[in-house]
Chains A and B, each alone.
Chain A
Amino acid sequence: MSSQAPAGGPLPESPPARASLTAIVAAIERAVDVIGRAASWISLAIVVLMAVDVLLRYTASIGSVWAQELEWHLLAPLVLFGMTYALLKGEHVRVDVFYARYSPRGKAAVDLLASLLAIVIAALVIRYSIAYVNQAYSIDEISSDPGGLTHRWMLKALIPIGFAVFALQAAAQAVSAAIRLSHSSTDAAGDRAR
């Protein structure tokens, strides 16, 4: 198993009809890259917040419920935006025993399948989580601990938002996989014609 090579990669030379699609894919990937880089600051925030909290608690016995809650509240955006960042960089682990030996066409086919499945999965997660977020919103759910954070629905809303971004990047990768697939098949046809 290993992580795949960056999934997008340079797209093949494309006729004008594909150019606009390629441009959209590139725009989505730039946006996801920005989101991922921004989300990566959360990791530092977690380290600093947590370390300060622990130091204060053990040395000065100063502790606050909200700080401790904020720490794990930060994990949600780190993961839910980071997973798309990892998708962009092709770092989701896969078994590449056979994958590594596929032809470019075979790889494109598997990538296309994986991207389409990812879109469906994200759509289903969004579908189920909307009601979940609504419920938290309608009762204005807050932390059960006194002194805890309020607006729990905002935290929960990160689930459909994160998966929406994920679906967007998966769609971009589906398009680029489809372009690679059709490109390599016209190549193969051309080879046969010659």
Chain B
Amino acid sequence: MSLQEWLAIGLLIGFFMMLIAGVPVGITLAASGFIFGFMGFGESLFNLLPARIYGVVANYQWLAIPLFVFMGVMLEKSRLAEDLLDVIGHLAGGVRGGMALGIIGVGVLMGATTGIVGATVITLGLLTLPTLLRRGYAPEISCGAICASGTLGQIIPPSLVLILLSDIMQLSVGTLFAAAVMPGLMLAALYCAWIVVYGLLRPNSMPPVPRAERDALPRRELWTRVVKVALPPLALVLSVLGSIIAGVAAPTEAASMGALGSILVVALARRLSFKVLRAVMQTTTRISAMVLFILICAQVFSLAFRGLHGERLIENLFELLPGGINADIWFLMALIFVLGFFLEWIEISYIAVPLFLPIFAAAGVDPVWLAMLITVNLQCSFLTPPFGWALFFLRGVTPPEITTRHIYVGVIPFVGLQILGVVLVFTFPALATWLPKAIGW
């Protein structure tokens, strides 16, 4: 191997070491890129850096990030989600495991509004876990359901993961949004099926809401509350998603309508105040800048990796694998799954995916299908113990009687369902490719 190839390996190792040591992701990317780039090829390639950075921060497509974050944070800060959960809890009350099913439903809805996994898991955890425990639900299934449904936000459009993947894979955001609808709903259905089965296996782990309490709330009043609380955000989400998927508006345009709509919805609920608006603006600014800062730093890393001929290294690695392109896909899936134990989706999307992309492009693999395999797989990285992001977020808001073990044990069946999801998308590519084709993206 040439010196440069050794340096490319050094780049990856150096990056990984700093990352594990706890240096922020963006700093890690840029620092390792500069250090090994200077050792390998000096300054030449880095003269391209300003143009690359400009391409990140002056980019029409990336406007979708602050807009969708704004919409999500606005709906979250306004505490509309809280009311939503309350109403769904009552609606779902009758069925065994009904509240757990309700949580999956809320996860789908919130995923469609915010697309921010942390926000969804924390909100669900804070608002529903105490209620579930009070109703006699077992801690394991409660925690598992909350973590799993909270992570649906990263696959159900609009989601930051899909927006970033669309850039990395050179696909349109609309195509990926459309492609993710079926796999996202399929995962939600898998979760629901598991909860129903679990309810049959262990009826005592998920008792229904007592009849007397349900009778105390008249049907008519319940439905009025459903209309008042659930309808506005639901209509907002459906109109934003609908206009993107129907091709009426470009995703960035639809995002601006969503952001404006979220202000209106919150104003209609009489919860819009200057304090809320200011908090939303500040959170939006920090989250959007944080994500795009990583993107800026990833430019340094990718310049260095390219300059050190890292692609050739990866190609050689794949040539060692027997069994053609399907084996390559499963190798990538296994790699992402294993990386998911240690890294989060941002690093995996920026490091692992671009490294392997040329191989699959050369082999003519459908990029939309591949993107969905990656997205479903990436969701595992939120859930896999011991380092899953969703688990940390939930741990931060659980009452003291919940142990880390409850969360780990509870989430394992859902990781299994997630792997089943990857297998299903692999076996039936139409799950991912049908909708984008049907609407002509």
Chain A residues with a Cβ under 8 A of chain B: 1-2, 4, 36-37, 39-44, 46-48, 50-51, 53-54, 58, 68, 71-73, 75-76, 78-83, 85-86, 89, 91-99, 102, 107, 110, 113-114, 117-118, 120-121, 124-125, 128-129, 131-133, 155-156, 158-159
Contacts and interface: CB of A to CB of B under 8 A. Distances in A.
Interface stretch (B20-28, B218-226, B360-368): B20-28
Q: Which 10 A-B pairs have the closest CB atoms?
A: A82-B289, A99-B22, A132-B50, A50-B256, A51-B260, A92-B24, A129-B50, A40-B285, A83-B293, A40-B281
Contacts of A89: 286
User: B252, B282, B289, B346 — which one has the most chain A CB atoms within 10 A of its CB?
Assistant: B289
B58 interface: yes
A78 B58 contact: no
B54 A86 contact: no
Contacts of B20: 95, 97-98
Interface stretch (B59-67, B314-322, B416-424): B59-67
Interface in B31-56: 31, 34, 46-47, 49-51, 53-54, 56
Contacts of A83: 289-290, 292-293, 296
B425 interface: no
B30 interface: yes
A170 B222 CA distance: 53
Interface in B285-304: 285-290, 292-294, 296-297, 300
A51 B255 CA distance: 9
Given A43-B66, A92-B27, A72 B289 contact: no
A120 to B, nearest CB: 7
B288 A78 contact: yes
A98 B58 contact: no
Contacts of A54: 249, 253, 256-257
Question: Which range holds the interface residue count of chain B?
Answer: 35 or more
A89 B287 CA distance: 11
Given A47-B260, A125-B49, A82 B285 contact: yes
B392 A85 contact: no
Contact of B26 (A81, A92, A131): A92
Given A73-B58, A85-B285, A98-B21, A129 B259 contact: no
Nearest to A115: B27
16 contacts: A1-B387, A1-B392, A40-B282, A44-B281, A46-B67, A50-B63, A51-B260, A68-B60, A73-B58, A83-B290, A92-B293, A97-B342, A99-B21, A114-B23, A117-B23, A131-B50
